[in-house]
């Protein structure tokens, strides 16, 4: 079976990102195909979360080029740190969703409103449509009965599942997971991974996952990328990376996390 490789959905070409004197991404090159599930692993500070935050337009970058579905993040003649207009950034954001380490639900909104608010305010859906969509998604993450609760009444695992439903309600093409289970008590990690694992079967959804859950990464990803010092040091199928890493830094890292 020889399938022609589809054009990449996401393409980093020579992207450099600095925080002051610190270079977080260094001439970074990275491509993601549509529908691909990619896990980013590596020591903290190696730039993996920064890749997600740049894709979500939470952080600008200084050099290089980044495109999403052929759309450049930076506009020619664009101003400000992002070198793009707010309008352009919102156009990009409409294709991308993000799940945060600390959930970041809106504490003053019910679970239902957390999920339905953006579809109403941003996509212009009617309340009824948005709530129907929210009910479906909450059922999918197993929280249909919690729709009238407030975030403070939920466990961390439940909050994170609401956050996943909230991100999905915007129907993004790309969903970014930034250490989605790192803030959870160990016994709550499974329920969140189960939801993410289900999403991994969605053919059209492109997923980028930063995680320290190596066994899970191995199960769900099409590709694993090992980050070190702002670059991808080694990448390949989960099998290749986890069973036969070739780069000494990868071996060292895996040995330290897998013990």
Partner 1 sequence: MPWVSYLPALAQGALVTAWITLAAIAIGAVLAFVAGIARVEGGRAVSTLALCYTELFRGTSLLVQLFWFYYALPLVGISFEPVATGILVLALHVGAYGSEIVRGALTSVSVQQLEAARALNFGRMHTLIHVTLPQAIIEMLPAFGNLAIETLKLSSLVSLISIADLTFRAQSIRNLTLDSAGVYSLTLVGYFAMSLVLMLVMRLIERWARRGAAFPRAAHS
Give dist(CA 183, CA 41) in Å, integer.
17
Cα–Cα distances (Å) from 20 to 25, 53, 61, 230, in that order, read: 12, 17, 12, 15
Applying CB under 8 A, which part among 60-68, 95-103, 181-189, 222-230 lies near partner 1?
95-103
* Identity of the residue, 157 or 245, whose beta carbon is nearer to partner 1 in the bound complex: 157
* Identity of the residue, 149 or 249, whose beta carbon is nearer to partner 1 in the bound complex: 149
Contact 225/191 with Cβ under 8 angstroms? no
Q: Is 166 a residue that touches partner 1 (CB under 8 A)?
A: yes
Q: Is 170 a residue that touches partner 1 (CB under 8 A)?
A: yes
Contact 27/14 with Cβ under 8 angstroms? yes
* Identity of the residue, 79 or 152, whose beta carbon is nearer to partner 1 in the bound complex: 152
Give dist(CA 176, CA 249) in Å, integer.
25
Cα–Cα distances (Å) from 252 to 246, 247, 259, in that order, read: 11, 9, 10
Least separation in angstroms between residue 135's CB and partner 1 is: 18
Q: Is 130 a residue that touches partner 1 (CB under 8 A)?
A: no
Least separation in angstroms between residue 105's CB and partner 1 is: 7
Least separation in angstroms between residue 166's CB and partner 1 is: 7
Dihedral sign from CA coordinates of 185, 200, 215, 24: negative
Q: Please report, as ranges, the residues that interact with partner 1 according to CB under 8 A.
A: 56-58, 86, 90, 93-94, 96-98, 100, 102, 104-109, 117-118, 121-122, 149-150, 152-153, 166-167, 170
């Amino acid at each position: 079976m020889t399938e022609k490789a589809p054009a990449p959905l996401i393409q980093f070409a020579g992207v450099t990102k600095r925080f002051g004197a610190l270079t977080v991404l260094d001439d970074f090159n990275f491509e993601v195909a549509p529908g691909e599930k990619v896990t980013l692993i590596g020591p903290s500070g190696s730039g993996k979360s920064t890749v997600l935050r740049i894709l979500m337009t939470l952080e600008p970058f200084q050099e290089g080029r980044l495109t999403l579905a052929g759309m450049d993040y930076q506009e020619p003649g664009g101003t400000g740190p992002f070198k793009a207009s707010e309008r352009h950034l919102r156009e990009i954001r409409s294709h991308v969703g993000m799940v945060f380490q600390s959930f970041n639900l809106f504490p003053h909104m019910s679970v239902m409103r957390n999920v339905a608010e953006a579809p109403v305010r941003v996509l212009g859906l009617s309340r009824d449509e948005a709530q129907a969509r929210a009910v479906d998604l909450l059922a999918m993450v197993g929280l249909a009965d919690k729709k009238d609760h407030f975030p403070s009444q939920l466990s961390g695992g439940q909050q994170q599942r609401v956050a996943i439903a909230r991100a999905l309600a915007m129907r993004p093409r790309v969903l970014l997971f930034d250490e989605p289970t790192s803030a959870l008590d160990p016994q709550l990690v499974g329920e969140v991974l189960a939801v993410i694992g289900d999403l991994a079967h969605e053919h059209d959804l492109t997923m980028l996952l930063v995680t320290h859950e190596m066994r899970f990464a191995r199960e769900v990803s099409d590709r694993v990328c090992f980050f070190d010092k702002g670059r991808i040091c080694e990448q390949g199928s989960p099998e290749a990376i986890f069973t036969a890493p070739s780069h000494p830094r990868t071996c060292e890292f895996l040995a330290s996390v897998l013990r």
